[in-house]
């Protein structure tokens, strides 16, 4: 198998989207290694395919900015790539030439027919199985040798493979957001994924310097398999609290506990806002058929959606209002689900602090502890103290931590993850948790 030939013509479907744009940038780096670094005498083409030409035009500006950053960071290596160019003297000249050479390989298109000439099809369209099947089957009929690498975060790959008639020429290639920054890559094979594609996908991931975790082809895989259940548990806790405290305080309290007392980078409801309420609901709906004995939904999510409280991000990456309202990334208001209105956090913070009750005297924060070489010692002391406290906040945090651990163990027991270490790697690397859910703290 000539793997260089497979990289000669590549298409990214959904290239102008949040995930697709990052995947396109990563692939442009890989093509640059072959075309410029290894001096491969081939005509490499990277097709950015999306429905909107204006979005594709904007994409090119983003790609250029990322290429400049990459070039500045790797200027020593680039100098060796262009060592035979006597006309390129200073770093700025080399960077400009690099950006020009890579951009020459990128073509934009709003036509799916563009992918008919590609050996590799990377897909990052919305989580819609019917649409993926439609596009893949169309491409496959016109391009029998194509390999498909789908970025779906929840839909079973085997279902797409069967319905699109791909016969082993597909693999799950789940990047985390943003792909250019995030190190984690979940790879999901079906029972029929051909060996050459499986080997290629791992080698490409390593070339991209990604941390690879293999997941079994079960809806949600490891990442969303944990996150979705973690979020549903949080909603269950909030629902109980809301009976006496109201939804605004309940959302705020559980978010605070999941962030501050579990030492996470953000609270669970802020994370739901980041992902998007609509996206979360869709992922849960995608997972539900595979887990008939679980209820993978919550009335509060549906009510938020119906009330147009959806979260997500704007095109520039800033946060849209969801369960919380934000000003420059800071939470300023929280949604009262019962009364369908936002409440300033300053109106409820004191009451919530009183309700939380006694907290550990040892104060540790995710930002300060996550890269600390003595992280394990700090976390052990913190959680040991938490277990000695009998307060609403401490008890909810301990229950939350135990449930998170149970979810992780379930993923191992059901063979979705090969090991406890894989579960922990996904949550620590993909979600930036300071520690994995399968631990000795709970």
Query: For residues 215 and 242, is the Cβ–Cβ distance under 8 A?
Result: no
The per-residue pLDDT for 3 is: 66
Task: For residue range 91-135, list pLDDT tens digits in order.
Answer: 999 999 999 999 999 999 999 999 999 999 999 999 899 999 999
CB atoms inside a 10 Å sphere around CB 335: 24
Residues 6 or more apart in contact with residue 101 via CB below 8 angstroms: 32, 35, 36
Helix (H, G, I), strand (E, B) or coil at 428: helix
Enter the CATH code of domain 3-215. 3.40.50.720
Q: Burial-class residue 52 by CB neighbours within 10 Å (0-12, 13-18, 19+).
A: exposed
Are 180 and 70 within 8 A, CB to CB?
A: no
Structure tokens belonging to residue 426 = 């996904």
35-59 pLDDT tens trace: 999 999 889 999 999 999 999 999 9
Whether pLDDT at 274 is above 60: yes
Distance CA 247, CA 347 (A): 14
CA distance 115 to 137: 12
pLDDT tier for residue 317 given thresholds of 50, 70 and 90: confident
HSE, CB side, 13 Å, CA atoms: give it for residue 25: 26
Task: Summarize the confidence of residues 423-427 as an average pLDDT.
Answer: 98
State percent of the chain over pLDDT 70. Answer: 99
At 41 the three-state DSSP class reads coil
Q: Each residue of 6-33: pLDDT tens digit?
A: 899 999 999 999 999 999 999 999 999 9
Q: CA torsion, points 428, 429, 431, 432, in degrees to nearest 10?
A: 70
The two counts, helices (H) then strands (E), for the chain are 18, 11
**Cβ atoms 121, 20 nearer than 8 A:** no
| Torsional sign, CA 12, 16, 22, 25 | positive
CA nearest to 185, candidates 381, 60, 71, 19: 19
Task: Please say whether the beta carbons of 277 and 285 come within 8 A.
Answer: no
Let me know: does 161 contact 194? Beta carbons within 8 Å.
no
CA 412 – CA 410 distance, rounded (Å):
5
Helix 223-245, helix 268-275: angle, nearest 10 = 120
Tell me the β-bridge partners of 336: 341
Among all chains, which residue has been given the structure tokens 């005509």?
43
Radius of gyration of the chain (CA): 23
pLDDT of residue 2: 60
Averaged pLDDT score across all residues of the chain: 96
Return the axis-axis angle of helices 91-103 and 53-73, rounded to nearest 10°.
150
Q: Where are the alpha helices (DSSP H) in 307-431?
A: 349-356, 366-369, 375-387, 392-413, 420-425
What percent of the chain is predicted at pLDDT more than 90?
95
Among residues 134, 196, 142, the alpha carbon closest in space to that of 160 is found at: 134
Lowest-confidence region among 321-330, 389-398, 412-421 = 321-330
What's the pLDDT score for residue 318? Answer: 82
* First and final C-alpha spacing in the chain: 49
| The CATH number, out of the four listed (3.30.365.10, 3.30.565.10, 3.40.50.300, 1.10.1040.10), of the domain defined by the range 223-430 | 1.10.1040.10
Instruction: Give the C-alpha separation, 296 to 232, whole Å.
Output: 8
Q: Is the pTM of this model over 0.75?
A: yes
What letter would DSSP give residue 258? I
**What pLDDT shows up at residue 217?**
97
| Structural contact between residues 229 and 217, judged by C-beta atoms closer than 8 angstroms | no
Write out pLDDT tens, residues 223-262. Answer: 999 999 999 999 999 999 999 999 999 999 999 999 999 9
1 pLDDT more than 90: no
Domain ranges of the chain: 3-215, 223-430
Residues paired with 335 in a beta bridge: 342
Q: What is the pLDDT of residue 328?
A: 86
Q: What share of the chain is helix, strand, coil (3-state, %, to 5)?
A: 55, 15, 35
């Amino acid at each position: 198998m000539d793997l260089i030939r497979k990289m000669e013509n590549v298409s990214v479907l959904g290239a102008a989207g949040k995930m697709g744009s990052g995947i396109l940038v990563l692939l442009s780096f890989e093509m640059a290694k072959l075309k410029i670094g290894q001096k491969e005498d081939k005509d490499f083409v990277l097709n950015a395919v999306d429905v909107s030409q204006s979005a594709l035009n904007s994409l090119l500006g983003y790609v250029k900015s990322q290429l400049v950053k990459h070039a500045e960071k790797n200027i020593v290596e680039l100098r060796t790539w262009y060592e035979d160019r006597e006309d390129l003297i200073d770093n700025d000249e080399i960077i400009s030439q690099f950006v020009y050479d890579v951009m020459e390989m990128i073509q934009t298109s709003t036509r799916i027919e563009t992918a008919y000439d590609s050996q590799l099809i990377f897909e990052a369209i919305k989580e819609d199985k019917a649409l993926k099947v439609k596009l893949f089957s169309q491409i496959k009929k016109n391009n029998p040798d194509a390999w498909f690498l789908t970025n779906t975060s929840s839909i079973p790959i085997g279902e797409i493979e069967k319905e699109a008639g791909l016969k082993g020429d597909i693999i799950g290639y789940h990047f985390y957001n943003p792909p250019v920054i995030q190190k984690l890559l979940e790879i999901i094979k079906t029972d029929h994924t051909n060996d050459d594609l499986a080997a290629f996908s791992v080698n490409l991931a390593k070339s991209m310097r990604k941390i690879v975790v293999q997941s079994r082809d079960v809806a949600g895989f490891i990442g969303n398999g944990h996150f979705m259940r973690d979020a549903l548990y949080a909603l269950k806790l909030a629902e109980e609290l809301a009976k006496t405290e109201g939804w605004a305080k309940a959302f705020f309290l559980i978010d605070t506990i999941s962030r501050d007392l579990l030492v996470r980078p953000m609270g669970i409801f802020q994370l739901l806002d980041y992902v998007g309420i609509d996206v979360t609901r869709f992922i849960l709906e995608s997972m539900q058929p595979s887990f008939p004995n679980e209820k993978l939904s919550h009335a509060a999510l549906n009510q938020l959606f119906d009330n147009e409280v959806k979260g997500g991000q704007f095109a520039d990456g800033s946060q849209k209002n969801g369960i919380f309202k934000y000003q420059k990334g800071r939470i300023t208001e929280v949604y009262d689900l019962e009364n369908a209105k936002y409440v300033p956090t300053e109106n409820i913070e004191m009451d919530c602090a009183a309700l939380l009750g006694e907290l550990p005297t040892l104060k540790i924060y995710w930002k300060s502890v996550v890269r600390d070489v003595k992280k394990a010692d700090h976390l052990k002391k913190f959680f040991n103290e938490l277990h000695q406290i009998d307060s609403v906040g401490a008890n909810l945090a301990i229950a939350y931590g135990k449930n998170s651990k149970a979810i992780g163990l379930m993923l191992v027991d059901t063979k979705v993850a090969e090991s406890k270490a894989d579960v922990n790697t996904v949550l620590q690397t993909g979600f930036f948790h300071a520690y994995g859910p399968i631990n000795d703290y709970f």
